């Protein structure tokens, strides 16, 4: 590869892309944990938070008898590689006291899933992009549709289309949502 081609590759690798993150919690004080996670993301120099959805109360998917979840979605811009962004999200989950290794879909203090990164696909043991369950979950699609309705999920359609088709049973607004979530420009907490 000549120097000019190498430099083009470097630029591509270093250029910023939009990424979409699902936030969820159903132990402790879920909206506070989501709000704290968003503040932590804002404090990371390599990540710019562009938009945050409203918070939703959602019926838990998983073993019975667990509390409702608080769910939201956010859009960020970053030059981090997908696995590096996943490292950041998992470190935040750990710092929030997240325990791992129990049964599948057990209750949790904080869950941060990487839903999609523009122009990136991944299929490794650590990271699947787009998130393989994204198109099946109202608790992901409804918040995501507030901040990225025209986002195209390859092979599946736009987020607007997917959100319109998903079963919203068990999903309600979180009454004290700190974000209005009424459009892509909304990034600031509600007064």
Among positions 102-121, residues that touch ligand A4P (CB under 6 A) are 104-105, 111, 113-114
3-class secondary-structure state, position 78: strand
Cβ closest to Mg ion, residue 132 vs residue 175 = 132
Backbone φ, ψ for residue 143 (5° rounding): -60, -40
Smallest separation (angstroms) from ligand A4P to the CB of 56: 9
Smallest separation (angstroms) from ligand A4P to the CB of 43: 21
Among positions 109-128, residues that touch Mg ion (CB under 5 A) are 111, 113
Compute the residue count for the chain: 191
150 catalytic, yes or no?
no
- Where does the chain have alpha helices with state H? 3-14, 30-43, 82-95, 138-147, 159-165
> Going residue by residue from 52 to 91, which x/- string records binding to Mg ion, judged by CB under 5 A?
----------------------------------------
Q: Is 182 left (phi over 0), alpha (psi -120 to 50) or beta?
A: alpha
Among positions 9-68, residues that touch ligand A4P (CB under 6 A) are 24, 58-62
Residue 69 binds: one of Mg ion, ligand A4P, none (C-beta under 5 to 8 A by kind)? ligand A4P
111 catalytic, yes or no?
yes
Tokens matching residue 140 = 């992901």
Q: Is 93 in the site for Mg ion (CB under 5 A)?
A: no
Cβ closest to ligand A4P, residue 92 vs residue 191 = 92
Q: Residue 53: which residues within 8 A CB-CB, separation 6 or more?
A: 72, 73, 74, 143, 144, 146, 147, 179, 181
Closest CA to 139 of 50, 36, 22, 18: 22
Smallest separation (angstroms) from ligand A4P to the CB of 74: 14
Q: Give the active site residues.
A: 98, 108, 111, 113
């Amino acid at each position: 590869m000549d120097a000019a081609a190498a430099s083009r590759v470097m630029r591509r690798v270093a250029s910023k892309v939009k990424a979409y993150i699902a936030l969820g919690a159903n132990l402790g004080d879920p909206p506070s944990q989501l709000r704290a996670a968003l503040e932590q993301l804002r404090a990371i120099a390599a990540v710019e938070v562009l938009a945050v959805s409203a918070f939703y109360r959602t019926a838990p998917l998983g073993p019975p008898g667990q509390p409702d979840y608080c769910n939201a979605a956010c859009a960020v811009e970053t030059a981090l590689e997908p696995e590096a962004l996943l490292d950041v999200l998992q470190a935040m989950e750990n710092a929030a006291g997240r325990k791992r290794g129990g049964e599948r879909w057990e209750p949790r203090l904080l869950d941060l899933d990487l839903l999609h990164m523009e122009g990136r696909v991944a299929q490794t043991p650590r990271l699947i992009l787009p998130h393989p369950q994204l198109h099946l979950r109202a608790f992901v699609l409804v918040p995501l549709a507030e901040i990225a309705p025209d986002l195209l999920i390859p092979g599946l359609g736009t987020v607007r289309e997917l959100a319109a088709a998903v079963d919203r049973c068990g999903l309600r607004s979180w009454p004290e949502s700190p974000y209005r979530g009424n459009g892509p420009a909304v990034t600031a907490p509600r007064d």
